[in-house]
Amino acid sequence: MGKVYIFDHPLIQHKLTIIRDKNTGTKAFRELVDEVATLMMFEITRELPLEEVEVETPVATAKSKVLAGKKLGVIPILRAGLGMVDGIVKLVPAAKIGHVGLYRDPETLKPVEYYIKLPSDINDRELIVTDPMLATGGSAIEAIHALKKRGGKQISLMCLIAAPEGVEAVKEAHPDINIYVAGLDEKLNEKGYIIPGLGDAGDRLFGTK
Ligand code: URA
């Protein structure tokens, strides 16, 4: 059974506040999303398995620990999910990166896959899906579904801000996955924006409107 983790580390909360501020410009916004992704990844990797090795220091042999070779994959949902990738792979440079592109069908309003490119061994990797905003949950649910359909088994979802509606929808559709968020907000408005949120994450990351 998956869990929802809310990262209350003071640095994450401080940076998230600046990210939310409408007066924060594109450059600072992008840098802060990157930093928060790194800090969240630091917390997420806390439980990675270790193994003991011997290493020669300049003066003696030390028994020391290294990561036990768990393979990771980072899967941004296009396009805003891209903003979190660099911050994650800074800590886990061996991670492979896949991409999932979804658009909303104007008739059914459901997300439809238009692009997918994944590491060939996703069944063997722990996959972290990134999307800064978990709003209705539609895109995240579809992206996770796309990974499961292609053999993904260990999947988690990493977002900056989530609405309770999105968390519930993802939990219901994919009860097995962990959800990592920096902020759990109040609600969605009638246009599907998270309140108070931070506005449109893609536009703020890429300077578009
Ligand atoms: N996507 C965003 O970028 N912002 C929201 O508030 C909701 C969805």
Q: Structural domains in the chain?
A: 4-206 (3.40.50.2020)
Asked if residue 201 has its Cβ within 6 Å of ligand 1, the reply is yes
3-state secondary structure the chain: CCCEEECCCHHHHHHHHHHHCCCCCHHHHHHHHHHHHHHHHHHHHHHCCEEEEEEECCCCEEEEEEECCCCEEEEEEECHHHHHHHHHHCCCCCCEECEEEEEECCCCCCEEEEEEECCCCHHHCEEEEECCEECCCHHHHHHHHHHHHCCCCEEEEEEEEECHHHHHHHHHHCCCCEEEEEEECCEECCCCCEECCCCCHHHHHHCCC
Q: Is 61 considered catalytic here?
A: no
Distance CA 144, CA 183 (A): 21
Return the residue whose CA atom lies nearest to atom 2 of ligand 1: 200
Q: Is 108 considered catalytic here?
A: yes
Specify the pLDDT at position 148. 98
Question: Which residues are annotated as part of the binding site?
Answer: 79, 104, 131-139, 194, 199-201
pTM exceeding the 0.80 threshold for the entire prediction: yes
Specify the pLDDT at position 101. 98
For residue 116, the CA-to-ligand 1 centroid distance in Å is 22
For residue 132, the CA-to-ligand 1 centroid distance in Å is 8
For residue 148, the CA-to-ligand 1 centroid distance in Å is 24
Specify the pLDDT at position 209. 82
Specify the pLDDT at position 141. 98
In sequence order, the 6+-apart residues with CB closer than 8 A to the CB of 109 are none
Cα within 13 Å of Cα(159), Cβ side: 30
Question: Which residues are annotated as part of the binding site for uracil?
Answer: 194, 199-201
ipTM value: 0.96
Q: Which regions in the chain score pLDDT beneath 50? A: none
Specify the pLDDT at position 105. 86
Asked if residue 194 has its Cβ within 6 Å of ligand 1, the reply is yes
